[in-house]
Chains A and B, each alone.
Chain A
Amino acid sequence: MKDEDLRDLNLPGYEIPPELAGQLAITTLDRVYNFGRRSSIWPMMFGLACCAIEMICAQAGRYDMARFGMEVMRPSPRQSDVMIVAGTVTKKMMPAIVRLYNQMAEPKYVVAMGACASGGGPFKEGYNVVAGIDKYLPVDVYIPGCPPTPQALVAGMIKLQEKIDKQSIKHVRWYDGKKEDSVAVAIPYLGPDLIDPRRIPEIKAKSMELAQPPAPAAEA
């Protein structure tokens, strides 16, 4: 670790009036806390499509994400901090992805790598393709590109670190005391098409509406 990093960590960065001494402890704690988290983001070993190959490249010798403490690709969602959704999200895969996400322990982050994961990508029009993982999971960082080069991925991960830096231990959802330490997303299931349980009433209303016999004028 470079010296500057340490200095960064020790200084709150601004003058602290004495009456705000209580605040001071929190801010510094935030720094330590965030420093710890940002420096050991373990991604889940989870690749979907072409983008995953660039993710592997970013892990391999040349771009070496280990320099950021991200080298430990965990095959188990329980041990990972970030899910890099690298590739096309298909409907058939969707239940599995949500299940994996739900199994991850907080704090957890989702990075949508590539056009496909961000918004559907070139295959968006396909019948088996989900138009962006953010339809189901909360996404923290979007990395456009098809595929994002390893350097672009690393740039995205740095962006995620910046996001982590801005979080405060006081406000993060997993310590706010509401016992909702983990955001569980309802698992979609495979019917005649992908069914999102959160949208069942909406789907029902719409399909009933479509089933209405056409207006009499059309019949005549």
Chain B
Amino acid sequence: MNGKGILKGMGVTLQRFVDTYLDDIRWWGKRYYTPEGIAHRSSTNTKGIFTIQYPEEKLPVPEEFRYKPFLLYEEGEKGEKNIRCTSCGICAKACPTQCIWIVRGTDPATGRPVPQPAGFWIDADICMSCGFCAEFCPFDAIKMDHNYEVASYTRNLMDIDELMKPVSYYAGIRPLNYAREEEARKAKEAAKAAKAAPAAG
């Protein structure tokens, strides 16, 4: 019969239409603007309305999500910012787009290089968010940010002040990675201490 195929297809859309209301009723009041609701809507058995009501509700980003890089600093006791970066230049070499510029710090007294950058720029209008800088930095000093609400009215060249964020922020957005790195670092320090101990004793 002509039209049977169309009707069959319409059945699918009708089914979806009905599902929308059924799911709304089933999740009455909890489907929108609640974390469970968002989780349900992005789970594999979601049905009905699929929309995330951004900006009122936001889709949580996974831990590995990468947007733009940022530099980590440890907060000192008196509020000083101890940047982790040693200006070793590995990230600048690993960066495929070559959008990292680093000026290696020098000691004004001796003129010798010091492990701290004097300048650090990332051109966010070139960066391809590939994450290589974070992946290959041996000092865990550069990481990928989760903040994506960065639209602006001008071009985006990020200098060192804009790039720096505290380690606590990093621990907040990537708890698992942070824990793993801390563990590795502690283990390394312990090994070092163990090695140093017999030498000293």
Q: Which A residues contact B (CB, under 8 angstroms)?
A: 61-64, 67, 115, 118-122, 124, 132, 134, 140-146, 148-149, 151-152, 154-156, 158-159, 163
Contacts and interface: CB of A to CB of B under 8 A. Distances in A.
B51 A67 contact: yes
Contact of B55 (A115, A132, A154): A154
Contacts of A156: 151
A116 to B, nearest CB: 8
Contacts, number: 100
11 contacts: A61-B50, A61-B51, A62-B59, A63-B51, A67-B53, A134-B155, A143-B150, A144-B150, A151-B149, A158-B55, A159-B153
The secondary-structure label for the interface of chain B is: loop
Interface of B: 50-55, 58-59, 67-68, 96-97, 123-129, 148-156
Contacts of A122: 96-97, 126-128
A141 B54 CA distance: 19
Nearest to A62: B50
Given A115-B124, A144-B156, A159 B151 contact: yes
B54 A145 contact: no
A124 to B, nearest CB: 6
A120 B59 CA distance: 29
Nearest to A163: B153
Contact of A145 (B51, B96, B97, B148): B148
B152 A142 contact: yes
Nearest to B98: A125
Nearest to A152: B148
Nearest to B156: A144
Contacts of A62: 50-52, 59
B53 A142 contact: no
A152 B151 CA distance: 8
B15 to A, nearest CB: 16
Given A142-B125, A163-B153, 5 more contacts: A144-B150, A144-B151, A145-B148, A149-B148, A158-B55
A63 B52 contact: yes
Contacts of A118: 124-125, 155-156
Given A144-B68, A145-B148, A152-B148, A121 B126 contact: yes
Given A61-B51, A151-B59, A155-B151, A145 B126 contact: no
Contacts of B58: 151
Contacts of B153: 140-142, 159, 163
B154 A142 contact: yes
Contact of B149 (A132, A140, A142, A152): A152
B123 A64 contact: no
Nearest to B68: A144
Contacts of B129: 145-146
A7 to B, nearest CB: 18
Contacts of A63: 51-52, 54
A61 B50 CA distance: 6
